[in-house]
């Protein structure tokens, strides 16, 4: 029996209505979930998804904690949780320094700020029941915090070879109780593997420039790649950054290749302990709508 992944949808300006239609289609096709990144308004997208679907689970993969007061977010989250009949998950995270700089936000310490935010959120009264809270995580300390105060953890661009080690940190009783374990995986379906790899390298260009991601990938066993990438960044060598993104690293953090290769890759993620692989669509021959259609066709 085919294990159906979840799909990532983003509320991009100019195609929001089309994205909502895609959410309804994802439910009709039997996908296991729909999850939105911080691009666009992921909370508003979830509110719309609650209205056009009936059974599929959905949520935010990362709503940045510094962009909205927890009491205000609690009101909206409780609303979506109620009208969505308990299908909604609220994913929270600190997001990245580049986003903070662009918005003029001065973050504090990620772990203590996340703990305080979730505590305030959960102690807010008068709005009704809150949805499960999932923490955007990458390395062990945030994962441990998710186990302590949350209802799940979601990674982005995790490494397949390292993922079982992360899952092993989650107590078995929490997993048995439904602790959410997910990973957002850049995905390109194209029989031309080199073309797919190039597309995924472009997608991860920004991530390899973030120290927290490089530290994670070092821990996952890609020290040589990360050292080469850091050297290229210091030298202002964009081509050198791309050249350092090896196939062994890329094939662990992303999915690309033919329809069958991608589907086999999804199965490998399930086998590694990822209960909800979230495919982040990208295409070598079009934009987001084309990429989503290609994933739909792969699981038709």
pTM above 0.85, yes or no: yes
Half-sphere exposure of 87 toward its Cβ, with a 13 Å CA cutoff?
A: 21
Give me the pLDDT at residue 98, please: 62
* Concatenated DSSP letters of 94-137: ---HHHHHHHT-----HHHHHHHHHHHHHT--SS-PPPPEEEE-
The low-confidence residues of the chain, meaning pLDDT below 50, are none
Helix (H), strand (E) at residue 35: strand 33-36
Give me the pLDDT at residue 40, please: 82
Question: How far is Cα of residue 287 from the mean position of the Cα atoms in its chain?
Answer: 19
Fold of 6-188+257-298: TIM Barrel (3.20.20)
The torsion angle over the Cα atoms of residues 63, 65, 68 and 73, rounded to 10 degrees, is 70
Which among 190, 160, 159 has a CA at the least distance from the CA of 291? 190
Give me the pLDDT at residue 50, please: 98
Question: Where do the structural domains in the chain lie, given as residue ranges?
Answer: 6-188+257-298
Three-state DSSP class for residue 185: strand
């Amino acid at each position: 029996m085919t294990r159906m992944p979840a799909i990532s949808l983003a509320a991009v300006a100019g195609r929001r209505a089309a994205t909502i239609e895609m959410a309804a289609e994802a439910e009709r096709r039997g996908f296991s979930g729909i999850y939105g990144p911080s691009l666009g308004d992921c909370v508003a997208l979830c509110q719309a998804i609650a209205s056009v679907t009936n059974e599929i689970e959905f949520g935010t993969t990362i709503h940045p904690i510094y962009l909205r007061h927890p009491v205000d977010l609690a009101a909206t989250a409780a609303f979506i949780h109620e009208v969505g009949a308990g299908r909604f998950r609220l994913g929270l995270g600190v997001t990245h320094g580049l986003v903070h700089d662009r918005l003029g936000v001065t973050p504090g310490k990620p772990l203590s700020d996340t703990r305080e935010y979730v505590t305030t959120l959960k102690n807010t009264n008068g709005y009704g029941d809150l949805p499960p809270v999932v923490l955007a995580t990458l390395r062990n300390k945030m994962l441990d915090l998710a186990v302590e105060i949350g209802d799940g953890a979601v990674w982005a661009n995790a490494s397949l070879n390292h993922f079982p080690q992360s899952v092993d940190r989650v107590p078995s009783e929490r997993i048995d109780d439904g602790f959410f374990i997910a990973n957002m995986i850049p995905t390109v379906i194209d029989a031309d593997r080199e073309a797919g790899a190039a597309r995924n390298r472009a997608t991860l260009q920004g991530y390899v420039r973030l120290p927290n991601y490089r530290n994670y990938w070092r821990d996952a066993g890609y020290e040589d790649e990360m050292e080469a990438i850091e050297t290229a960044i210091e030298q202002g060598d964009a081509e050198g950054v791309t050249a350092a993104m090896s196939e062994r690293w890329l094939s662990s953090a992303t999915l690309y290749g033919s329809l069958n290769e991608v589907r086999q890759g999804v199965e490998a993620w399930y086998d590694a302990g990822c209960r909800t692989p979230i495919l982040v669509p990208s295409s070598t021959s079009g934009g987001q709508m084309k990429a989503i259609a290609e994933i739909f066709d792969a699981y038709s």
